[in-house]
Structure 1
Amino acid sequence: MRVDVTVDISAPPEVVWAVLSDVESWPAWTASVTSIRPLSPDPLQAGSCVRIKQPRLPTTVWTVSELVEGERFSPGVHTRASHRVVGTADGSRAILSIDQAGVLGRLVGRLYGGLTRRYVEMEAAGLKQRSEESAPQTRL
C-alpha cells in the first residue's frame, strides 16, 4: 500500500523544512501524532531514532534511513515514510508518503489504510498551517 499526499504551502522551503525537521514539535501541529521522543542525540541524521506514538496505533521506533538537509528525510524499516520539501514559484510543495511493503505491509495496509491516509492528510494540513504561520510576512 502506498499513500502520497502533496500540499502547496505559501512559505519558503527553508521555513517548511524548519517546521518539518523539528520532529519533536509535530504533536503541536498535527493531531495524528501524540508524542515523539528522540532516542538519539540528533533525531535528524541517518541512523538516528525517535519513538513515535500515534492515536489508535502502537508506539513504534522510526529510524532515519536517509536525509538530504533542507529537502527530505525518510524514516522507516518495513513501513517507509518519506517527507520532502521542494521550492515552487509561490513558496513550497511538501510531498508526504507512506509505503508499506511486503506481506505484512499489505496486511497493515488493508487494516489501517484509511487511517494511514487520514493521518498523512492531517500531517500535510498541519504542516501547511504551521509553516504559513511561521513564514515572514511581506508588506504591500
Structure 2
Amino acid sequence: MTGVTVVVDVDAPPATLWTILTQPSTWPAWTESMDTVDLLDGDLRLGARARIVQPGLRPMVWTVTAFEPGRAFTWTAEAAGVRTAGTHEVEALDGGARSRLTLGLTQRGALAPLIRLLLGRRSRRYVGLEAAGLKAAAEDRARTSV
C-alpha cells in the first residue's frame, strides 16, 4: 500500500468544515486540483458516486464506501488494477470551536508502486491543495457567519 496523508487544524467548527467537505460539486471553487466534480446519485452518502475530473488525470468515478455523518467518509475508485481510496475526516478541537482535518489517499494493487512513481508527486500536491483550500473555505465561512 502506498499513500499520502495531510493533517491541518482549521479555525472553524466541525459542522462548518463538514458542510463544505460534503458538497463536492463546489470543490473546484476552492481547490485548483479539481476541474469538475459531479455527484451521480444525489447527495453524498454511502454508496453515492461522483465523477471527478482533475487537471492532467483521466476522469474517474468514485464510490462512497464508508460514511459517518459529521465525521468521516471514504470513497474509492479503480483503474488499471489499482484501487485508490480517498479518506476525509473531521475531528473537533477546543470543545468544538475548531477542527482538525485529515485527508488521505492510498493505492493498493500490483501496479500501486508504479502509480506512486508516476503520480506520487502530483498526488501529494493535490491532497495538499485540497487541504489548504478546504481550510481557507471553512475559515472564511466561519468568519463571515459570525
Tell me if 1:97 matches 2:98.
Answer: no
Deviation at 1:112, TM superposition (A): 0.2
2:120 to 108, 113, 118: 113
1:18-97 paired onto structure 2 within 5 Å: 18-42=19-43, 44-77=44-77, 78-89=83-94, 91-97=98-104
Q: Given the two structures, how large is their TM-score scaled by the length of structure 1?
A: 0.94
Counterpart-to-counterpart distance in 2, 1:106 and 1:40: 32
CA drift of 1:136 comes to 4.7
Q: Which amino acid aligns with 2:120?
A: G
Aligned match for 1:126, one of 113, 130, 133: 133
Q: Is 1:3 aligned to residue 10 of structure 2?
A: no
Could you tell me which runs of 5 or more consecutive residues in structure 1 were left unpaired when the two chains were aligned: none
Aligned residue identity for 1:55 = P
In structure 2, runs of 5+ residues without a counterpart are 78-82
Could you state the TM-score of these two structures normalised by the residue count of structure 2? Answer: 0.90
The one-letter code sitting in structure 1 at the alignment partner of 2:85 is: R
Q: Percent identity between the aligned chains?
A: 39
In the TM superposition, structure 1's runs of 4+ consecutive aligned residues that sit over 3 Å from their partners are 136-139
Compute the displacement of 1:137 (Å): 5.8
Give the 3-state SS of the residue equivalent to 1:14 in structure 2: helix
Q: CA deviation at 1:45?
A: 1.2
